[in-house]
Amino acid sequence: MSAKTKKKVPSVESKEFDEKWKNPMKKPFLEKIVLNIGVGTGGEELEKAVTVLEQITGRTPVKTLSKVNVKEFNLRIGRPIGCMITIRGKEAERLLKRLLIVNNNKILRKSFDNYGNFAFGIDEHIKIPQTEYEASIGLWGLDVCGKIARPGMRVKSRRKARSKIPKHHYISRAEAYYFLKQNFGVGIVKKLDLEYI
């Protein structure tokens, strides 16, 4: 393939998005952050996971239910097996800044898709600022999922008069890189090399 026919891929440093974002309907924003802990069982362990999410967010999470029957793991449809919580708006932005500190403000390049979604994991919840260790609860890991969107995306999921969203209105992987770097100072890396003092 010649140099002329190679597809141009915008880099993280690209400024082409600044021109696009002058249009208020094209300017992306952080729509939500979802925190999830999968326990695999109910009872006391699940209640501990619920307490962890309450400590991190100050809100009450909801319990997630099993959707399949797995006899080997004693799973039945409808049984609670985890918990999750969704945070939106300015509160989501403040929470994301706290969570990113755990990974030194870095996210893996492969943690993004072409629809404005990104995710990363935290192995121990006590690494999150303003979170203290409690022996009765122990250490818990959690998944963090974020969604970057543009104004107008609601027409895809509203109850009445739903409509399809054209592909160009979604946030591409490259645009998500640039958005997080500009607004949250995130570094996009191929490998996480974390150093703790």
The answer on pLDDT for 118 being more than 70 is: yes
Residue 148 Ramachandran class (φ > 0 left, ψ -120 to 50 alpha, else beta):
beta
Q: What are the boundaries of each domain within the chain?
A: 16-189
For residue range 93-115, what is the model confidence (pLDDT) as tens digits?
999 999 999 999 999 999 999 99
For residue range 153-189, what is the model confidence (pLDDT) as tens digits?
989 989 999 999 999 899 999 999 999 999 999 999 9
- Encode burial over 156-176: b for 16+ CB neighbours within 10 A, e otherwise: eeeeeeeeebeeebbbbbbbb
Find the angle CA(131)-CA(132)-CA(138) to the nearest 5 degrees.
110
Longest dimension (CA), the chain: 62
Report the topology of domain 16-189. 50s Ribosomal Protein L5; Chain: A, (3.30.1440)
Q: What is the pLDDT of residue 13?
A: 52
pTM assigned to the model: 0.84
Rg (CA), the chain: 19
The answer on pLDDT for 47 being more than 90 is: yes
Find the angle CA(79)-CA(56)-CA(36) to the nearest 5 degrees.
35
Could you give phi then psi for residue 17, rounded to 5 degrees?
-75, -25
Partnered with residue 29 across adjacent β-strands are: 149
